[in-house]
Amino acid sequence: MSNRSRLLLLSGTGGSGTTTVCAATAAELAAEGLAAGLVDASGDAASPEALAAVQDVVATTLGRGLGVLGADPINPAAWSGLPGLGGLAALSDVITLLADPSVDVVVVDCGPIARARGLVALPATMLRLLDAALSPRLAMWRSGDGDQDDASTIFDGLSAARALVLRMHEALMHEATTVRLVTEPDDRSLAQVPDAIAAFGVLGLAVDGVVANRMARKDEAPKAVLAGQERWLDDLRVAAHPVSAWKSTTRPRPVPKGLSPASHLPAAPRVNEPALTITPLDEEYALDVPLAPAAVRRARVGRSGTELVIEFDGAHRWVTLPALLQRCRAAHATRTDGGLRISFVPDPAVWRAPQAGPA
């Protein structure tokens, strides 16, 4: 495990008390003598400095680009309402805190699951767009005889944006980053848990815990209610498998005593490059993609050029195939207990066929 600060993203099933659990988690860390950095990414509450920095990058690149095409100058503040900008600013706050050696754990309130999924997918999506924009042709334009000022500004602005977004992406994909779900005892919330664990896994983030928030205490509910609550908790533990689920009573403390928010818990599988294993078989290669149970049943995989695409419930993950498999064609896939196994057959158009032995 690296020495980087822990990054804990909290997301809830909507109105389940994610913000309260975030604050309680930070309080729990403080009680253990650890310094927590808190970021609110659930709305447009990023720091003014981060928002201004992101607006500046956007204004420099997009605004200048539009200016080259003849548009009037646009005030940088005018970009502030763009969708996704608040999320980028919040992630900018995250990487600032992660770089602070005095911070032990960065806790991020990512809001409801749908918003959190969009937030964690944002850097990867932007990286793909920026990589396409920063084409060799644009680099040639920059060094050409055209309008040096505009070309250089746009190219350098895009490069700066890419560097910033890459840091965000790397922070999210880091092994010391996990997602913790917050839910409450009702069946609607319960139903969202397996898909959320699987979708975050496909996006490259491991869920390491589910907090059953707002559970009634023994002294404040009838026995029948408590019994139903325990049955619901049992169902939650099945739905969250292999992730641990624990209950939290809002009073007196949302995070149960004895469970350290900084501990490393068993986490759900996630799709990341080191987790993709290649097994050479007789005449083909098998690539195993680890997935959470819900995704094992319903995910699909595809190929786009040199990339593998994993799709589950609207979440897409693009992973560059190892060079060996780039020279193969994907024959078929099989659902296994822990994910998907994809069979790759050497492409005869690329690989030389084995020579026949001596007669």
Partner 1 sequence: MTKGPWWYSGDEGVGEPPSAAAAPEDPAAAAPADRPVEPARDSLDWSALAAGAQRLVEWATERVVAPHAEHDDPREHPDCVMCRALALMADRPGTASSTRSETVPDGIAWIPILGEDPPPEA
Least distance between partner 1 and beta carbon 289 (Å):
11
CB of 204 to partner 1, least distance (A): 18
Q: Is residue 340 involved in binding partner 1 (CB under 8 A)?
A: yes
Contact between 4 and partner 1 per CB under 8 A:
no
CA dist 304 and 182 (Å) reads 35
- Rounded to the nearest whole angstrom, what is the least distance from the CB of residue 20 to partner 1 in the complex? 38
Number of residues that bind partner 1 (CB under 8 A): 17
Residue among 4 and 329 whose Cβ is closer to partner 1: 329
**170 vs 311, which CB is nearer to partner 1?**
311
Q: Which 3-state string (H, E, C) describes 156-201?
A: HHHHHHHHHHHHHHHHHHCCCEEEEEEECCCHHHHHHHHHHHHHHH
SS3 state at 276: coil
- Cα–Cα distance, 7 to 312 (Å, whole number): 24
The structure tokens listed for 141 are: 């334009």
Structure tokens at 338: 């822990």
- Alpha-carbon separation of residue 101 from 35, 65, 89, 112, 210 (angstroms): 10, 38, 21, 29, 28
Reported in sequence order, the residue ranges of the chain that DSSP labels E, i.e. its strands, are 6-12, 36-40, 105-112, 177-183, 206-212, 245-247, 277-280, 285-290, 300-304, 307-312, 315-320, 328-335, 339-346
Please give the residues from 262 up to 291 whose contact with partner 1 meets the rule CB under 8 A: none
Q: How far is the CB of 311 from partner 1 (least distance, A)?
A: 7
Q: Give the chain's radius of gyration (CA, Å).
A: 24
Applying CB under 8 A, does 342 fall inside the site for partner 1? yes
- Note whether 241 binds partner 1 by CB under 8 A: no
| 29 versus 202: smaller Cβ distance to partner 1 | 202
Return the residue of 43, 334, 350, 351 that touches partner 1, per CB under 8 A.
334
Q: How far is the CB of 147 from partner 1 (least distance, A)?
A: 19
Task: Please identify which residue in 218, 304, 353, 354 interacts with partner 1, judged by CB under 8 A.
Answer: 304
Q: Identify which of residues 73 and 302 has a Cβ nearer to partner 1 in the complex.
A: 302
Nearest approach in angstroms of CB 201 to partner 1 is: 18
Q: Is the CB of 54 or the CB of 126 nearer to partner 1?
A: 126
Give the interface with partner 1 as residue ranges (CB under 8 A): 300-305, 309, 311, 329-335, 340, 342
